[in-house]
Structure 1
Amino acid sequence: MAEISFPEPRIGPEWARRRIGAFRDAVAFERFAAVYREAMDGLPEPEEQRTVDTSYGTVRVYRFGTGDGVPLVLMPGRQSCTPLWRTNLPGLVRGGRPVYAVDGLGEPGCSVQSAPMTSGADQAAWIDEMLARLELPRAHVLGVSIGGWLAVQVAVHRPERIASVIALDPANTFAPLSWKMIVVSLGSVLPGMPEGLRNRLLGWISGGIDDASEHIEGRLIASGMRDFKVRFPSPALPGADELRSLRVPVLALIAGKSIVHDAEKAAARARTLRDSAVEVWPEASHALNGEYPERLAERVHAFLDGLPEHGRQG
């Protein structure tokens, strides 16, 4: 893996008063950075790493693969970043299109927030600006969990550059968060939470594995939860009018064993979209991208190749 350059991070509680995500202290940043670098070593070599400016901060983007197909842009979940896609990148880059992995703005990683984000429209704005800085006139956006919510938000508020949305068990998008997910989310970020308990809570999200720290992705998310404080509001469930406004094709893959929401209710609401393909994967947990990387890559390629505008980038 090429050398990873960390920009100057936000550190300390003073950023919380400005509603900007930050590492809790310098020790927390160094701890997270070490896990991030270790996790990035497990990824394919990127063709390029870039840091682009937006109105809400600077965004780190890694480009994998080549080709002239409409690019695929990957948005990770809460308290996560590019290494989340370790098992997915080999399959996704075989599709004949560039794949851009993004460290979410306001989340732990190499992106640095500089202004508050208080709505889905704000979140959509930085993604649209990022695509513009990357000179991508069109892109398919794939997101998991909160990343799926982000993909829907940009398609609702800034649809001009969006060719399609692929939402993997998106949180608070087609169905409300379950009480289990709320308990896990609150419990896992409490200061002083024992590391073993935090890993068990993460395991509950990921299909009941005994210890999330057995996987580098689990260690990275656990570090983000412990060491970084997110400072934007909880994502709002899109209203019926917002979902009806979507004009792009949507592939929604819902995990049957997800604790994030009621899977059948989420699937039923997703099927009300104007142009949607919706599947419930009965044996999958919320971590379906890590559980079924090859199946996911095949389904994504089949979906994209079946779109009328799947050809060359303009």
Structure 2
Amino acid sequence: MSTIYKSEAGASEIQRRYREALRAWPVPAEHIHVPTRQGETFVIASGPEQAPPVLLLHGSGANATMWRNDVTTWSRHFRVYAVDLIGEPGLSAPSRPPLDSDAYALWLDDVLEALAITSAPIVGISLGGWMALDYATRRPDRVTRLALMCPGGVGRTKSAWLFKAVLLRLFGRRGIRRSARSVAGLEKLQDQSVLDDLVLTFTQFKPRPAQLPRFSGDALRRLTLPMQVTVGDRDALFDSADTAQRIRQCVPHATVRLLPGVGHSIFDQTDSILAFLRA
């Protein structure tokens, strides 16, 4: 049994639902299995092959299907590569090398080389935002733009959500649903299938136990590429005000947007990110 799941049955159910979502992908797509030093990596490629590339990196406890509401618009202008992060509940290898190393940059080197991408903009959210920032600080010549939503590793990590999540679990499935809504910032979500998938992940997937390393001011100041950072002021996981302040101080040319009343899950950014990518 893979160490990133709590049971074989849970792993099978998560992957079954993922494959169903892949069949409902809204645009024609190519499924690519990329060999890397961390094991096989799964990539969904959409859009014209001759179009400029853009790389999408999802958050923790998710997979590439989180971009399904964006890909129709973005793939009209780009060759969109939605990557399943290693060690997450997608179809990539369960590898979890140390976060405080260059292992993820080397892994992305392998992914880009296999896709024949020399350089590209990266869109990342949460853990994917951390990986995008980590890669840009280590490989500035390979990243042309960064569009980040609630990126980890910038603002302080909050701990109060963990106590609340553990407490709500005592109330069974109902408590788990409330916990999932609260932590992910999905209180206003109407699509119950999304919440059902999240609850399944909460109950069967093992998140990374290590806290994301925080980027130093020097590392952030080395970023000279165009950046757009979007955070919600009700994020239960990261201190968004601290994220916004550090980006404004260390990367003064970046565009920073602090969305009122928005939690960790940020929706409806398709057009604003597209405008940034095409600027």
Q: 1:187 aligns with which of 161, 166, 176?
A: 166
Superposed counterparts of 1:267-278, under 5 Å: 267-271=244-248, 272-273=250-251, 275-278=253-256
2:246 aligned with 1:265: no
2:137 aligned with 1:156: yes
Further displaced range: 26-35 or 136-145: 26-35
Cα 1:135–1:215, aligned 2, differ >3 Å: closer, same or farther?
A: farther
Q: Which residue of 2 aligns with 1:113?
A: 94
Distance 1:48 1:301 in 2: 21
Contact 1:124 1:157 in 2 (8 A): yes
Q: 2:71 aligns with which of 63, 84, 89?
A: 89
Superposed counterparts of 1:69-88, under 5 Å: 69-88=51-70
**Structure 1 moving runs of 4+ over 6 Å:** none
Contact 1:39 1:216 in 2 (8 A): no
SS for the counterpart of 1:159 is coil
RMSD between superposed Cα atoms in Å: 2.6
Identity of aligned residues (%): 24
Give ranges in structure 1 of 5+ residues lacking alignment: 1-10, 16-21, 307-314
Distance 2:145 2:160 in 1: 30
Shift of 1:105: 0.4
Distance 2:163 2:20 in 1: 30
SS for the counterpart of 1:135 is coil
CA displacement, residues 123-174 of structure 1 (integer Å, 9 cap, x when unaligned): 2221222111111111111111111111111111233321111110113x32
Q: Which residue of 1 aligns with 2:277?
A: 304
Using the size of structure 1 for normalisation, the TM-score is 0.79
2:118 aligned with 1:174: no
Shift of 1:232: 6.3
Distance 1:193 1:141 in 2: 39
Cα 1:264–1:230, aligned 2, differ >3 Å: closer, same or farther?
A: closer
Shift of 1:231: 5.0
Q: 1:282 aligns with which of 245, 250, 260?
A: 260
Distance 2:223 2:261 in 1: 29
Distance 1:208 1:54 in 2: 34
Cα 1:226–1:120, aligned 2, differ >3 Å: closer, same or farther?
A: farther
Contact 1:256 1:284 in 2 (8 A): yes
Superposed counterparts of 1:190-205, under 5 Å: 194-205=172-183
Question: What amino acid is the match of 2:273?
Answer: V
Contact 1:46 1:62 in 2 (8 A): no
Using the size of structure 2 for normalisation, the TM-score is 0.88
Q: Which residue of 1 aligns with 2:195?
A: 218
CA displacement, residues 163-201 of structure 1 (integer Å, 9 cap, x when unaligned): 111110113x321112334436x63998x9833222211
Contact 2:87 2:96 in 1 (8 A): no
Distance 2:23 2:86 in 1: 22
Shift of 1:120: 4.8
SS for the counterpart of 1:252 is strand
Contact 1:199 1:213 in 2 (8 A): no
Shift of 1:35: 1.8
State the number of aligned residues. 278
2:19 aligned with 1:37: yes
Distance 1:214 1:75 in 2: 23
Distance 1:188 1:69 in 2: 48
SS for the counterpart of 1:288 is coil
Distance 1:32 1:188 in 2: 24
Distance 1:189 1:153 in 2: 33
Cα 1:140–1:188, aligned 2, differ >3 Å: closer, same or farther?
A: farther
Further displaced range: 255-264 or 196-205: 255-264
Cα 1:200–1:144, aligned 2, differ >3 Å: closer, same or farther?
A: same
Cα 1:176–1:230, aligned 2, differ >3 Å: closer, same or farther?
A: same
Distance 1:259 1:266 in 2: 13
Distance 2:178 2:225 in 1: 38
SS for the counterpart of 1:112 is coil
Distance 1:153 1:304 in 2: 19
Give ranges in structure 2 of 5+ residues lacking alignment: none
